[in-house]
Amino acid sequence: MGNKIELYEKMIGKINSAEIADWSDIAKFLTEREATARSTFPDDASFKESLRSGIAFLTFDYGIDGVSIEIAKYATCFERILSDADGSIPELHFIGGDFHDKAEAVLKDRWKRFRIEGINGWSKWYDGKWFSKLYYEDMPEGSDASKTMAREMWRQTAVFAEKLGGCIAENEIELLFPVNLFSNPGNFAITLAGILVSELMGIRVFNSNHDFYWEGGAPASERKDGEKGPRDHFFKNMDNKPFFSLFQSMYPWNGANWAQVNINTQQSEALNAEYEFPKEKLFELSTSISDEFFAEYTFDDIILTRKTMGLILSDGAETITPVPVESHLANLADWMSDQKPVVCGARPGLTLDPANPKLIYCLQPTRVVARKRIEMDLTLIEKLLQSSALRGEFENDSDRALLLHVTGPVPIEHQADLETVLNAYSHLIKNVPAEIAERVFIAFSVGTEDHPSLAPAGFERLRIEDIYRLATVILFPSETEGRGLPIIESAASGIPIVCSRYYPEDVFAEVVGEELEPEKRIIYTLFPDNGYPQSFLDEVAELTLAGNANLERVAHNKKAVAARYGTGVLVGTFEKVLETLR
């Protein structure tokens, strides 16, 4: 540990003595820094032994989101690679700006946590003040505003580097595994701090990029009139050349001790062709699907899982009593500050039985953010209940009911997106007959998979694979995705999915296996680009009502996913990256 402490102290001295007045001074510090030699290892065994002393994951925060779930898979993969014959496992550390309550469903108790206040991303980075100034407000080159921001970013960087470097030195961490910090610019200061710590302390970096700022983002000059992308704001100050050239060099950083690990080949090709990253330091890291997803289960298992979720949605009550949607909208600001599972219905006095065998369970396994386009689910359901076999089912069978369940939380900055979803539900229930509307519900479980009432009732907390088993059908009309996990996870679970052809289209094509032999392609139903033709409505209605008729699709998808996303595939990629870093 002595060497790391010494390197840490030298780093702090260099940062504190630097004279920073503008962005160009930061860039100069990065390019003129004294190189720090990394440790060397004669063979694979000695390198892996060093890694056992400490690997640290670094991201903005941890919760029940897709990134946190993927990080947990990566950690499990390291344990598999680095565990001793006697079963002892490597020291794994998780560094973030926050550990939300829901993170306990993802992170194992044995994994160590270290919180650095202020390294959250976007609006959670000091209430969004600095994110707004960098990416939404004018910052002309050479202006006082530009110089003030450069000095402020350096001040925050120094604080974060001190805390991050201290954690690394104290815990003898040999490998840093940042996720999204160097591709999606949620917090400029922690990104810069990560670069300084890795370079000045000689730390190897296994840099994981899920999505880049240019995916769904572009300057106005490259957009058609009126066209907008969800990440265009990152180009707001591109005319401030000292700032933007530094920004581009950081996202991602091409460090000597770094390997870039992307989630699709298109990202790697872009880094090589447009940013001149060497091919030998570029990798694609597939996700992996745990064996639990592929386990066989019965309809009785589905009903048991739905009863368990029923206790979560009802706050432990025997009956789910939905809140009228208009009441929920009226109190939305209060609910946002203390999000708890809730079910909304068309009017007061309704009940929902999750164990009803006639319940059609539509699942959207995502957070509530605009790019997930959850309102399209509700438009689809409305059309199904107006003009498909589903309408006849509801008219002829009074036990028929339908639930749209959105599983993830609502980021505080996305209240308006939730309002859009709730207004779409309100529109639905006003545009189908009242006696049908009273049997159509929408639920938000905000990432909750446990409740104190479960154990006394003889139920266990739910896991992610259980969440999928709730569903009759998965709905996933997302606009942009770094990968698109719900497609893979629904296929492994044997649940049919209705999804959009999201951007980047090449990523979607890779996920479903369009260029692969037929037996490795995932079968899906595609949300149409414009409107809902009758043929599409008929196909979706059949998915929700067919039951055993979907068995051929189920068997095919399970086999395709097992071949492409089994744990062994992920382990093999890890081994290649580690050898390069050695």
DSSP-derived secondary structure for 403-470: EEEE-S---GGGHHHHHHHHHHHHHHHHSS-HHHHTTEEEEE-TT----TTTTTTT-----HHHHHHT
Pair 540, 398 in one domain = yes
Cis peptide leading into residue 504 (ω within 30°): yes
Report whether 424 contacts 375 (CB < 8 A).
yes
Pair 93, 17 in one domain = yes
Whether 120 is in a domain gets the answer yes
Whether 55 is in a domain gets the answer yes
Whether 241 is in a domain gets the answer no
Pair 409, 530 in one domain = yes
For residue 204, the SS3 value is strand
For residue 479, the SS3 value is coil
pTM above the 0.95 mark? Answer: no
Angle between helices 23-32 and 144-170 (to 10 degrees): 40
Q: What is the mean pLDDT of residues 155-172?
A: 96
Report the chain's mean pLDDT, rounded to a whole number.
92
Whether 262 is in a domain gets the answer no
230 versus 538: the higher-pLDDT residue is 538
End-to-end CA distance of the chain: 19
352: DSSP letter:
B
Q: What is the mean pLDDT of residues 30-53?
A: 80
Pair 560, 423 in one domain = yes
Q: What share of the chain is helix, strand, coil (3-state, %, to 5)?
A: 50, 10, 40
Q: Token pair for residue 419? A: 């309002």
Pair 26, 108 in one domain = yes
Residues facing 115 on adjacent strands = 96
For residue 320, the SS3 value is strand
Pair 472, 558 in one domain = yes
Pair 388, 484 in one domain = yes
Least Cα distance to 89 among 101, 80, 102, 100 occurs for: 80
Whether 228 is in a domain gets the answer yes
Pair 469, 327 in one domain = yes
263 versus 98: the higher-pLDDT residue is 98
Report whether 55 contacts 173 (CB < 8 A).
yes
Whether 501 is in a domain gets the answer yes
- How far is 76 from 45, CA to CA, in rounded Å? 19
Q: Token pair for residue 305? A: 């899982």
Q: Which residue type does 341 have?
A: P
Dihedral angle over CA of 213, 63, 319, 441, nearest 10: 0
- How far is 104 from 253, CA to CA, in rounded Å? 31
Res. 245: pLDDT tops 90: yes
Pair 223, 338 in one domain = no
- How far is 257 from 204, CA to CA, in rounded Å? 5
| Res 395: pLDDT | 96
Pair 166, 99 in one domain = yes
Residues facing 476 on adjacent strands = 499
Domain holding 167, by residue range, is 2-172+189-202+210-236
- Rg (the chain; Cα; Å): 25
CATH code, 352: 3.40.50.2000
Instruction: Give 1's pLDDT tier (boundaries 50, 70, 90).
Output: very low
Task: Give tens-digit pLDDT for 469-489.
Answer: 999 999 999 999 878 889 999
Res. 280: pLDDT tops 70: yes
Give how many domains the chain has, as a whole number.
Answer: 2
Whether 574 is in a domain gets the answer no
Pair 307, 429 in one domain = yes
- How far is 264 from 380, CA to CA, in rounded Å? 30
Q: What are phi and psi of 317, to 5 degrees?
A: -75, 155
**Could you tell me which residues come within 8 angstroms of residue 310 by beta carbon, excluding any fewer than 6 positions away?**
320, 353, 354, 355
| Res 549: pLDDT | 61
| Res 120: pLDDT | 96
Pair 215, 307 in one domain = no
Q: Token pair for residue 412? A: 């505080």
For residue 34, the SS3 value is coil
Whether 244 is in a domain gets the answer no
